[in-house]
Amino acid sequence: MAYGETRSSFSSTETAHPLFIRVAHWVNAFALFIMILSGWRIYDASPFYPFEFPREFTLGGWLAGALSLHFAAMWLLVGNAILYLVYGLLSGHFWRDIRPPGPRSFWRDFNLSLQGRLQHVAGRYNAVQRLIYIGVSFMLLVAVLSGLAMWKPVQLQELTALLGGFETARRVHFFAMVGLVLFIVVHVTIAARTPGLVKSMITGRAPPEADEAGR
């Protein structure tokens, strides 16, 4: 049985993504865009690897401006995450849609993805997606905590010490960013190559392809 047959189909007029999920998604996208590009500018001010990010791909103009943008976007991301957490718990979204997959369903969908046969349908989360989203949530948490440890290394000295000190926290923060960028590249690529996915995240409506996939 194909993956698309494991869940009931959407009609073309049914809501694939509730309004709150769509708004939270685009707020996250905006906040991450600002955080990553301003973060690159902050990194360039004191790089710890022998490279710098091209200035035209950074935001903030100078260190103080980049820091202001970075923290503003961070608080937007954190506020959005708190609202999403409350929504997910109260609505059952977490358990219904993003609960951790079992080993059997994960390996089934992982093998399908390797064969290029794993379907991506608006409003449905296969086992690979669910595990990735859980991992991305963890990376976001690590990015925020390591950022706070660098921002307030004295006031939050226990957190800074837990992360191995200020310099180690910088590297933890950097690699959390790398993981998030890799996720964004894959996520955008899949969305662009799958008809109707981007539109459904704007309108909330499942594309006609969802009907075909669910049969």
pTM above 0.75, yes or no: yes
Secondary structure (H, E, C), 77-141: HHHHHHHHHHHHHHHCHHHHHCCCCCHHHHHHHHHHHHCCCCCCCCCCCCHHHHHHHHHHHHHHH
Tell me if residue 56 falls in helix, strand or coil. Answer: helix
**Tokens representing residue 5 in the block:** 């047959």
Q: What is the pLDDT of residues 38-79, one digit of tens each?
A: 999 999 999 999 999 999 999 999 999 999 999 999 999 999
Query: Is the pLDDT at 2 greater than 70, yes or no?
Result: no
Domain range list for the chain: 14-47+57-213
Q: What is the pLDDT of residues 103-128, one digit of tens each?
A: 888 888 778 777 777 776 666 787 88
Rg for the chain, CA atoms, rounded:
19
Chain mean position to CA 96: 19
If phi > 0 it is left, if psi is from -120 to 50 it is alpha, else beta; for residue 120 that is: beta
Chain mean position to CA 200: 17
Amino acid at 101: P
Alpha helices, DSSP H, located in 119-207: 127-151, 157-162, 166-193, 197-203
Whether residue 146 contacts residue 163, with contact meaning beta carbons closer than 8 Å, is answered with yes
Which CATH superfamily does the domain covering 14-47+57-213 fall into?
Transmembrane di-heme cytochromes, Chain C (1.20.950.20)
